[in-house]
Amino acid sequence: MNTDRMRVLLLEDNVDHAMLIQTSLAEHSVEVVHLPSAETAQSYLDGQPAPIGVMLVDVSLPGQSGVEFLRWVKQSKVHVVTPVVMLSTSDNPKDIRQSFQWGASGYITKPVGLQELKTKLNVFMEYWINTSLLPNCASD
């Protein structure tokens, strides 16, 4: 079990969705870095010396899309190993396929109900904190 406090990058332009997700993730004692656009996330990651354990990225973002951001991450020498899980209100097969083609580690649909969202995020965090070993959180 990972006892260090994991950093989660949340890339979400919808303020209400971001607040709900951050509230749910806070129950897991993770540090959440919320950014509203792919461009601000790229700038943040370019200047970020501390590792990110996992990224949660909204598919539909203003400007550069979440899938375009995913492509940037997976082409980066520094962040290529960081797991990226896509978030969307859509279950469009094209979005899902594109996300996995570019290296997404998962795809979560954002449900309408708060309880269902909490349940999905609890399962997500259980896996990424207590089950999976993450390359950016491993000790050398």
pLDDT at 138 over 70: no
What angle is formed at CA 15 by the lines to CA 108 and CA 124, rounded to 5 degrees? 25
Closest to 58 in 3D by CA, of 5, 4, 97, 95: 95
Predicted pLDDT at 1: 40
Predicted pLDDT at 2: 44
Confidence tier at 5 by pLDDT (50, 70, 90): confident
Q: CA–CA separation, 96 vs 130, rounded Å?
A: 25
Whether pTM exceeds 0.95: no
Task: For residue 78, give the 3-state DSSP assignment.
Answer: coil
pLDDT at 129 over 60: yes
Confidence tier at 51 by pLDDT (50, 70, 90): confident
pLDDT at 52 over 60: yes
DSSP string, 9-61: EEE---HHHHHHHHHHHHTTT-EEEEESSHHHHHHHHHT--SPPSEEEEESS-
pLDDT at 128 over 60: yes
Tokens representing 85 are 């899980």
Q: CA–CA separation, 55 vs 114, rounded Å?
A: 21
Average pLDDT over residues 59-68: 95
Predicted pLDDT at 4: 64
Per-residue pLDDT tens over the stretch 75-127: 998 888 999 999 999 899 999 999 999 999 999 998 878 888 888 988 988 88
Q: Which residue has the higher pLDDT, 137 or 50?
A: 50
Q: CA–CA separation, 103 vs 116, rounded Å?
A: 26
Q: Under CATH, which architecture does the 7-130 domain have?
A: 3-Layer(aba) Sandwich (3.40)
Predicted pLDDT at 27: 83
